[in-house]
Amino acid sequence: MRFFLAACLLIPVVIQSQEVDASDILFLKVQELEAEISALRSEFEAQAYLIEKLLSENEALPSKDTQANSETSIPDNTFRFQGINDSQSIDEVYAQAIAQLNDKNFIEAKKSFAYLATNFSDDEKIPLSLFWLGEISLLDSNLEESEEFFQSLAASYPDHWRTPLAHKKIGDILMMSNEVEAAKIKYQFVVQTYPSNAASSLALQLLENME
């Protein structure tokens, strides 16, 4: 009888304990979701910051670009993407694409850079367009597409000044895809092939962090 009474007294305690455990689990799940959302937001903000930083760099374009940028304005309603506007100079289209990028209008900037890469031939602005296409795709977390743009830049313009950074970006994408060994090989390639480039310093730092 005493055992039965003791058991009866313990039942509410057990039920309360189960309720507390369920509440704790729910709280932990909420915390995990909040952490994931915070991580995604941080990743987006970091990539947007990198784009702004890259835009602020002096890209050493010919002086005629500055003139085209300041004197020429292309109305949005006249800009089409079926090859109709081929008479527009590449300088004008590139200036518009950069302006859209500065305004964080990434969708239209992507269209403009893609139009350049598809319809024009220029040893300076086409590789730059491919680079920005890779950056915008990376911002959209489209890793496969981003890697394709960076690969196209590296393969088609091996001597362009953005090519070392494109290789490093490919290493970053491999890391994001959990292909750690492949990323390590790519970073080592950047360090060995472009020892005096800033991309080499970034790759070396990442390699040291992987040790």
Q: Are 69 and 95 in contact (CB under 8 A)?
A: yes
Report which of residues 195 and 14 the model is more confident about.
195
**In this structure, which amino acid lies at residue 206?**
L
Question: DSSP state, 77?
Answer: G
How many other C-beta atoms can be found within 10 angstroms of the C-beta atom of residue 165?
A: 25
> What pLDDT is stored for residue 89 in this prediction?
81
> What pLDDT is stored for residue 61 in this prediction?
45
Measure the CA–CA gap between 77 and 46, rounded to whole angstroms. Answer: 33
> What pLDDT is stored for residue 204 in this prediction?
94
pTM for this one? Answer: 0.65
- The domain ranges of the chain are 1-57, 64-210
Q: Considering the domain 64-210, what is its CATH architecture?
A: Alpha Horseshoe (1.25)
> What pLDDT is stored for residue 199 in this prediction?
94
3-class DSSP state of 61: coil
> What pLDDT is stored for residue 90 in this prediction?
87
Q: What sign has the CA pseudo-torsion 68, 70, 76, 77?
A: negative
Residue 78 has pLDDT above 70, yes or no: no
Residue 196 has pLDDT above 90, yes or no: yes
pLDDT in tens, 164-195: 999 999 999 999 999 999 999 999 999 999 99
Q: Which residues, 6 or more positions from 192, have their beta carbon under 8 angstroms from its beta carbon?
A: none
Q: Are 115 and 96 in contact (CB under 8 A)?
A: no
> What pLDDT is stored for residue 75 in this prediction?
39
Residue 66 has pLDDT above 50, yes or no: no
> What pLDDT is stored for residue 1 in this prediction?
52
Report which of residues 60 and 134 the model is more confident about.
134
3-class DSSP state of 56: helix
Mean pLDDT of all residues belonging to the chain: 75
Residue 17 has pLDDT above 90, yes or no: no
Listed range (28-42, 94-108, 112-126, 135-149) with the worst mean pLDDT: 28-42
3-class DSSP state of 141: coil
Question: DSSP state, 110?
Answer: H
Residue 85 has pLDDT above 80, yes or no: no
List, as own/partner pairs, every contact residues 105-113 make where C-beta atoms lie below 8 angstroms and the sequence separation is at least 24, other chains included.
106/136, 106/139, 106/140, 109/136, 110/136, 110/137, 111/81, 112/79
Between the two ends of the chain, the Cα-to-Cα distance in Å is: 66
pLDDT in tens, 103-120: 999 999 999 999 999 988
List, as own/partner pairs, every contact residues 122-128 make where C-beta atoms lie below 8 angstroms and the sequence separation is at least 24, other chains included.
122/90, 123/157, 123/160, 124/61, 124/62, 124/160, 125/61, 125/90, 125/91, 125/94, 126/157, 127/153, 127/156, 127/157, 127/160, 127/162, 127/163, 128/59, 128/94, 128/162
Q: What percent of the chain has pLDDT over 90?
A: 53
Measure the CA–CA gap between 153 and 116, rounded to whole angstroms. Answer: 14
Residue 156 pLDDT class (50, 70, 90 cuts): very high
Residue 49 has pLDDT above 80, yes or no: no
Residue 46 has pLDDT above 80, yes or no: no
